[in-house]
Amino acid sequence: MDNFEFQFQPIGIEKNPRKDELLAKQREGQELSREEAAELQGLFAFPDNPQGASLLAKDVLGQTTEEEKEKLRKYFQRKQFTPEVNSLWDRVEAGDPNVEQVAMSQGKAIEVSPDDQEKIIWTYGLGGCYGCLVYTEHPNGTRNAVLTHYPPTEISQDLAKLRELIGNSLNMKEATTKQTVLVMAAGEWVQDPETKKDSYKVKDQQTADLLALAVQAELGAGVNVKLEPYSETQIAGKKDQGTLLVYIPPTGKGEARYRTWFSGGTLGKQETDK
């Protein structure tokens, strides 16, 4: 196995004596053993995760079981996210009933009554997909949210899921506040032929409109629609790309809000301080 060459020290990471020892050995012209090279690769990949570093070293040497490979895959996945999102992963894996995760080709709904705890519904991996968030508030204080995540090839399934989830909720259909529908679809820069000014718009406006109209058909008049186009270009080192997080506290305990990797805002009526 070829010797590994590492020529950098990550900024902001506490030094690891073992890593420094192996690097010093390299600088002195000594060849690392297969085990040492694998260990060094693990230390660089997971400087603050000893278990991840150890598993990667084992994997490089071909010694991991299928169960360990799956665990290692999750460690790599977690590197893409901030502590906030990783805490949501932890809660999902622990079976927390107040956190709903929506995978691709899925749609889910949450309902928060005035006596409930805050609930969170979220998705990840939006990269060319459509994420549609529907939020309502009922006069009885109940807050509802529906979130779907589908690729462009499954728009008919997306429409069907939206109709199903909204149609199953009497509170949503009777809501007086239907203020925000957030549709996220891949965007592109478009130049106005007259002004020559560039603006960032939804790439497939027809499909985005189709999703919004399906929601309006279920909820009736008075739905405010907001479109947020995003870039499919991955930014090196940026965390939480492709995520949409929606936090719904009970009425009187704070405003409902959403956050993506590029934007954020509040949902529904603005609560006043008492």
- How confident is the model over 166-181, as pLDDT tens digits? 999 999 999 999 988 8
Neighbouring CB atoms inside 10 A of 190's CB total 15
Residue 96 and residue 36 share a domain: no
Q: Pick the last residue of a domain from 78, 99, 114.
A: 78
The span from the first CA to the last CA of the chain, in angstroms, equals: 67
- How confident is the model over 217-255, as pLDDT tens digits? 999 989 999 888 888 887 888 899 999 999 999 999 999
38 domain residue, yes or no = yes
> pTM of the predicted model, to two decimals?
0.77
CA nearest to 168, candidates 121, 110, 106: 110
Q: Pick the last residue of a domain from 78, 97, 117.
A: 78
Residue 159 and residue 257 share a domain: yes
The tally of domains found in the chain comes to: 2
Q: Pick the last residue of a domain from 78, 100, 127.
A: 78
Task: Label residue 11 exposed, middle or buried (CB < 10 Å: 0-12, 13-18, 19+).
Answer: exposed
Quick one: average pLDDT of 64-76? 89
Residue 104 and residue 46 share a domain: no
- Report whether pLDDT(133) > 70: yes
- The domain in which residue 141 lies consists of 83-267
CA nearest to 120, candidates 139, 106, 94, 102: 102
Residue 222 and residue 96 share a domain: yes
Residue 65 and residue 90 share a domain: no
Does residue 185 or residue 111 have the better pLDDT? 111
**Beta bridge partner(s), residue 245:** 122, 259
Residue 239 and residue 149 share a domain: yes
Residue 103 and residue 31 share a domain: no
The model's confidence at residue 2, banded by pLDDT at 50, 70 and 90, is very low
207 domain residue, yes or no = yes
233 domain residue, yes or no = yes
9 domain residue, yes or no = no
Residue 97 and residue 63 share a domain: no
Report d(CA 26, CA 6) in Å as an integer: 9
- Report whether pLDDT(115) > 70: yes
272 domain residue, yes or no = no
Residue 250 and residue 170 share a domain: yes
10 domain residue, yes or no = no
Residue 129 and residue 62 share a domain: no
CATH code: domain of residue 230: 3.30.1330
210 domain residue, yes or no = yes
- How confident is the model over 136-165, as pLDDT tens digits? 999 999 999 999 999 989 999 999 999 999
- Report whether pLDDT(7) > 70: no
11 domain residue, yes or no = no
- Report whether pLDDT(6) > 60: no
Q: What is the pLDDT of residue 3?
A: 40
Residue 91 and residue 57 share a domain: no
- Report whether pLDDT(39) > 50: yes
